[in-house]
Protein backbone atom coordinates (compact mmCIF):
# COMPACT_ATOMS: atom_id res chain seq x y z
CA UNK A 1 0.00 0.00 0.00
CA UNK A 2 1.28 3.45 -0.86
CA UNK A 3 1.77 6.14 1.77
CA UNK A 4 1.34 9.86 1.24
CA UNK A 5 2.77 12.84 3.09
CA UNK A 6 0.37 15.79 3.25
CA UNK A 7 2.02 19.18 3.73
CA UNK A 8 -0.73 21.74 4.19
CA UNK A 9 -0.04 25.46 4.03
CA UNK A 10 -1.22 27.77 6.79
CA UNK A 11 -1.73 31.52 6.55
CA UNK A 12 2.03 31.88 7.13
CA UNK A 13 2.65 30.00 3.86
CA UNK A 14 1.14 32.58 1.51
CA UNK A 15 4.57 33.24 0.01
CA UNK A 16 6.06 29.80 0.54
CA UNK A 17 5.69 28.21 -2.90
CA UNK A 18 7.01 31.06 -4.99
CA UNK A 19 8.62 28.71 -7.52
CA UNK A 20 6.57 25.57 -8.21
CA UNK A 21 8.75 24.47 -11.17
CA UNK A 22 11.78 24.60 -8.87
CA UNK A 23 9.96 22.45 -6.33
CA UNK A 24 9.07 19.87 -8.95
CA UNK A 25 12.63 19.88 -10.25
CA UNK A 26 14.09 19.39 -6.77
CA UNK A 27 11.57 16.62 -6.11
CA UNK A 28 13.33 14.45 -8.71
CA UNK A 29 16.15 14.15 -6.16
CA UNK A 30 13.87 12.69 -3.46
CA UNK A 31 14.76 9.00 -3.38
CA UNK A 32 11.73 6.73 -3.64
CA UNK A 33 9.27 9.51 -4.46
CA UNK A 34 6.69 8.23 -6.94
CA UNK A 35 4.52 11.29 -7.40
CA UNK A 36 4.23 14.87 -6.21
CA UNK A 37 1.00 16.83 -6.53
CA UNK A 38 0.87 20.56 -5.85
CA UNK A 39 -2.62 21.82 -5.00
CA UNK A 40 -3.46 25.52 -5.14
CA UNK A 41 -6.79 27.01 -4.00
CA UNK A 42 -9.58 27.84 -6.46
CA UNK A 43 -11.57 30.96 -5.76
CA UNK A 44 -15.34 30.91 -5.79
CA UNK A 45 -18.16 28.57 -4.85
CA UNK A 46 -18.19 25.08 -6.35
CA UNK A 47 -20.44 23.25 -3.89
CA UNK A 48 -24.00 24.45 -3.37
CA UNK A 49 -24.34 22.39 -0.17
CA UNK A 50 -21.20 23.57 1.67
CA UNK A 51 -20.26 27.18 2.34
CA UNK A 52 -16.91 28.34 1.02
CA UNK A 53 -14.24 28.43 3.72
CA UNK A 54 -10.69 29.74 3.69
CA UNK A 55 -8.72 27.17 1.75
CA UNK A 56 -5.14 26.23 2.62
CA UNK A 57 -2.55 28.35 0.84
CA UNK A 58 -1.32 25.10 -0.71
CA UNK A 59 -1.42 21.34 -0.20
CA UNK A 60 1.49 19.14 -1.26
CA UNK A 61 1.06 15.38 -1.64
CA UNK A 62 4.23 13.28 -1.68
CA UNK A 63 3.64 9.62 -2.63
CA UNK A 64 5.93 6.71 -1.71
CA UNK A 65 5.60 2.94 -2.07
CA UNK A 66 6.39 2.39 1.61
CA UNK A 67 7.05 4.08 4.91
CA UNK A 68 10.81 3.46 5.01
CA UNK A 69 11.77 5.61 1.99
CA UNK A 70 9.38 8.33 3.12
CA UNK A 71 10.86 8.48 6.61
CA UNK A 72 14.36 8.61 5.07
CA UNK A 73 13.29 11.68 3.08
CA UNK A 74 11.87 13.30 6.24
CA UNK A 75 15.22 13.77 7.98
CA UNK A 76 15.70 17.32 9.37
CA UNK A 77 17.85 18.39 6.41
CA UNK A 78 16.64 15.63 4.10
CA UNK A 79 15.55 15.74 0.49
CA UNK A 80 11.98 16.92 1.13
CA UNK A 81 13.15 19.89 3.19
CA UNK A 82 15.73 20.69 0.53
CA UNK A 83 13.02 20.63 -2.13
CA UNK A 84 10.91 23.04 -0.07
CA UNK A 85 13.85 25.41 0.21
CA UNK A 86 14.30 25.24 -3.57
CA UNK A 87 10.71 26.46 -4.01
CA UNK A 88 11.08 29.25 -1.47
CA UNK A 89 12.92 32.38 -2.46
CA UNK A 90 13.13 33.54 1.12
CA UNK A 91 16.01 32.39 3.30
CA UNK A 92 13.99 30.46 5.86
CA UNK A 93 10.73 28.52 6.08
CA UNK A 94 8.76 29.18 9.22
CA UNK A 95 7.84 26.10 11.28
CA UNK A 96 4.34 27.60 11.31
CA UNK A 97 4.10 27.66 7.51
CA UNK A 98 2.92 24.06 7.08
CA UNK A 99 1.39 21.14 8.90
CA UNK A 100 2.35 17.55 8.13
CA UNK A 101 0.57 14.20 8.19
CA UNK A 102 1.49 10.81 6.76
CA UNK A 103 -1.42 8.62 5.68
CA UNK A 104 -2.08 5.28 4.00
CA UNK A 105 -3.52 5.52 0.47
CA UNK A 106 -6.50 3.54 -0.79
CA UNK A 107 -6.87 3.99 -4.55
CA UNK A 108 -10.05 3.33 -6.53
CA UNK A 109 -10.43 3.32 -10.32
CA UNK A 110 -13.44 5.23 -11.66
CA UNK A 111 -15.11 4.17 -14.93
CA UNK A 112 -13.86 7.39 -16.54
CA UNK A 113 -10.32 7.25 -15.16
CA UNK A 114 -7.51 8.61 -17.28
CA UNK A 115 -3.80 8.98 -16.61
CA UNK A 116 -2.69 12.35 -15.27
CA UNK A 117 0.14 13.62 -17.41
CA UNK A 118 2.83 15.91 -16.11
CA UNK A 119 1.97 19.59 -16.64
CA UNK A 120 -1.74 18.80 -17.09
CA UNK A 121 -3.61 20.59 -14.26
CA UNK A 122 -6.79 19.14 -12.85
CA UNK A 123 -9.39 20.12 -10.28
CA UNK A 124 -9.41 18.26 -6.96
CA UNK A 125 -11.93 18.31 -4.12
CA UNK A 126 -10.06 17.61 -0.91
CA UNK A 127 -11.98 16.55 2.21
CA UNK A 128 -10.62 16.05 5.73
CA UNK A 129 -12.37 14.46 8.70
CA UNK A 130 -10.63 16.35 11.48
CA UNK A 131 -12.77 15.21 14.38
CA UNK A 132 -13.21 11.85 16.07
CA UNK A 133 -15.53 8.92 15.60
CA UNK A 134 -17.13 7.31 18.61
CA UNK A 135 -15.95 3.94 17.22
CA UNK A 136 -13.36 4.45 14.48
CA UNK A 137 -13.45 0.80 13.37
CA UNK A 138 -17.23 0.97 12.90
CA UNK A 139 -16.90 4.30 11.11
CA UNK A 140 -14.22 3.09 8.70
CA UNK A 141 -15.96 -0.22 8.06
CA UNK A 142 -19.18 1.55 7.09
CA UNK A 143 -17.41 4.27 5.12
CA UNK A 144 -15.29 1.93 3.00
CA UNK A 145 -18.21 -0.42 2.35
CA UNK A 146 -20.74 2.22 1.32
CA UNK A 147 -19.17 5.54 0.37
CA UNK A 148 -16.64 4.66 -2.39
CA UNK A 149 -19.23 2.80 -4.51
CA UNK A 150 -21.31 5.99 -4.50
CA UNK A 151 -18.34 8.29 -5.14
CA UNK A 152 -17.32 6.18 -8.14
CA UNK A 153 -20.65 7.07 -9.77
CA UNK A 154 -19.88 10.81 -9.84
CA UNK A 155 -20.06 12.00 -13.47
CA UNK A 156 -16.69 12.53 -15.20
CA UNK A 157 -14.72 11.42 -12.13
CA UNK A 158 -11.05 10.83 -13.00
CA UNK A 159 -9.52 9.77 -9.66
CA UNK A 160 -10.65 8.69 -6.20
CA UNK A 161 -8.42 8.16 -3.17
CA UNK A 162 -9.19 7.62 0.51
CA UNK A 163 -6.55 8.12 3.20
CA UNK A 164 -6.34 6.78 6.73
CA UNK A 165 -3.98 7.81 9.50
CA UNK A 166 -0.78 5.97 10.34
CA UNK A 167 2.03 6.66 12.79
CA UNK A 168 5.43 7.69 11.47
CA UNK A 169 8.50 9.65 12.47
CA UNK A 170 9.59 12.92 10.91
CA UNK A 171 12.41 15.43 11.27
CA UNK A 172 10.46 18.23 9.59
CA UNK A 173 9.86 21.23 11.89
CA UNK A 174 6.14 21.53 11.14
CA UNK A 175 3.25 20.71 13.46
CA UNK A 176 1.62 17.33 13.02
CA UNK A 177 -1.97 17.25 11.77
CA UNK A 178 -4.18 14.45 13.04
CA UNK A 179 -7.06 14.09 10.60
CA UNK A 180 -8.88 10.84 11.22
CA UNK A 181 -9.41 10.34 7.50
CA UNK A 182 -9.16 12.23 4.21
CA UNK A 183 -10.43 11.69 0.69
CA UNK A 184 -10.23 13.34 -2.69
CA UNK A 185 -12.10 13.24 -5.96
CA UNK A 186 -10.46 14.59 -9.12
CA UNK A 187 -11.97 16.07 -12.27
CA UNK A 188 -10.67 17.72 -15.43
CA UNK A 189 -11.67 21.20 -14.31
CA UNK A 190 -13.80 23.20 -11.87
CA UNK A 191 -16.83 23.07 -14.15
CA UNK A 192 -16.81 19.26 -14.15
CA UNK A 193 -16.50 19.25 -10.36
CA UNK A 194 -19.43 21.65 -9.99
CA UNK A 195 -21.57 19.51 -12.28
CA UNK A 196 -20.71 16.35 -10.34
CA UNK A 197 -21.57 17.99 -7.03
CA UNK A 198 -24.96 19.00 -8.44
CA UNK A 199 -25.77 15.45 -9.56
CA UNK A 200 -28.15 13.00 -7.84
CA UNK A 201 -25.09 10.96 -6.84
CA UNK A 202 -24.05 13.73 -4.46
CA UNK A 203 -27.47 13.57 -2.77
CA UNK A 204 -26.98 9.83 -2.22
CA UNK A 205 -23.54 10.51 -0.75
CA UNK A 206 -24.99 13.03 1.69
CA UNK A 207 -27.62 10.51 2.82
CA UNK A 208 -24.90 7.92 3.38
CA UNK A 209 -22.80 10.43 5.33
CA UNK A 210 -25.69 10.99 7.73
CA UNK A 211 -26.02 7.19 8.12
CA UNK A 212 -22.40 6.82 9.26
CA UNK A 213 -21.67 5.80 12.88
CA UNK A 214 -21.41 8.74 15.31
CA UNK A 215 -18.74 11.32 14.47
CA UNK A 216 -18.05 14.81 15.77
CA UNK A 217 -15.75 17.45 14.38
CA UNK A 218 -14.98 19.55 11.35
CA UNK A 219 -15.08 18.19 7.79
CA UNK A 220 -13.56 20.94 5.62
CA UNK A 221 -13.96 20.64 1.83
CA UNK A 222 -11.61 22.52 -0.49
CA UNK A 223 -11.58 22.84 -4.28
CA UNK A 224 -8.00 22.99 -5.55
CA UNK A 225 -6.14 23.35 -8.85
CA UNK A 226 -3.76 20.39 -9.03
CA UNK A 227 -0.40 20.21 -10.80
CA UNK A 228 1.10 16.75 -11.20
CA UNK A 229 4.67 15.56 -11.26
CA UNK A 230 5.02 11.84 -11.93
CA UNK A 231 8.51 10.75 -10.98
CA UNK A 232 10.66 7.70 -11.60
CA UNK A 233 11.85 5.62 -8.66
CA UNK A 234 15.36 6.42 -7.45
Q: In the 3-class helix/strand/coil scheme, how is 161-191 assigned residue by residue?
A: EEEEECCCCCCCCCEECCCCEEEEEEECCHH
Region 47-70: what's the mean pLDDT? 86
Give me the pLDDT at residue 234, please.
34
**Is residue 28 predicted with pLDDT exceeding 80?**
yes
**Is residue 146 predicted with pLDDT exceeding 60?**
yes
Q: How far apart are the first and last CA of the chain?
A: 18
**Is residue 13 predicted with pLDDT exceeding 50?**
yes
Q: Is 119 left (phi over 0), alpha (psi -120 to 50) or beta?
A: left
Residue 1 three-state SS:
coil
Contact status, residue 24 vs residue 229, Cβ threshold 8 Å: yes
**Higher pLDDT, residue 72 or 15:** 72
Region 170-193: what's the mean pLDDT? 96
Domains of the chain in sequence order: 3-230 (3.30.70.100)
Summarised one tens digit per residue, pLDDT across range 192-215 is 999 999 999 999 999 999 999 999
Q: How confident is the model at residue 94 (pLDDT cuts 50, 70, 90)?
A: confident
Q: What is the mean pLDDT of the chain?
A: 90
Q: How confident is the model at residue 22 (pLDDT cuts 50, 70, 90)?
A: confident
Which residues, other chains included, contact 145 with Cβ-Cβ below 8 Å and sequence gap of 6+?
none
**Is residue 45 predicted with pLDDT exceeding 80?**
no
Give me the pLDDT at residue 131, please.
93
Give me the pLDDT at residue 181, please.
98
pLDDT over 70 percentage in the chain: 88
- Of 42-56, 77-91, 106-120, the one with minimum mean pLDDT is 42-56
Amino acid sequence: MQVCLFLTGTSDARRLLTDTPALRGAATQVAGLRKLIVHEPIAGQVDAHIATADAPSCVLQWYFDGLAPLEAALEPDGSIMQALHAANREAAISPRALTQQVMAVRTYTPPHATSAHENAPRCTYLVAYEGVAQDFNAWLTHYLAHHPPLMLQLPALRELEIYTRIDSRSGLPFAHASAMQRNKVVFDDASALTDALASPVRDAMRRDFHALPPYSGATPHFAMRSIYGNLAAY
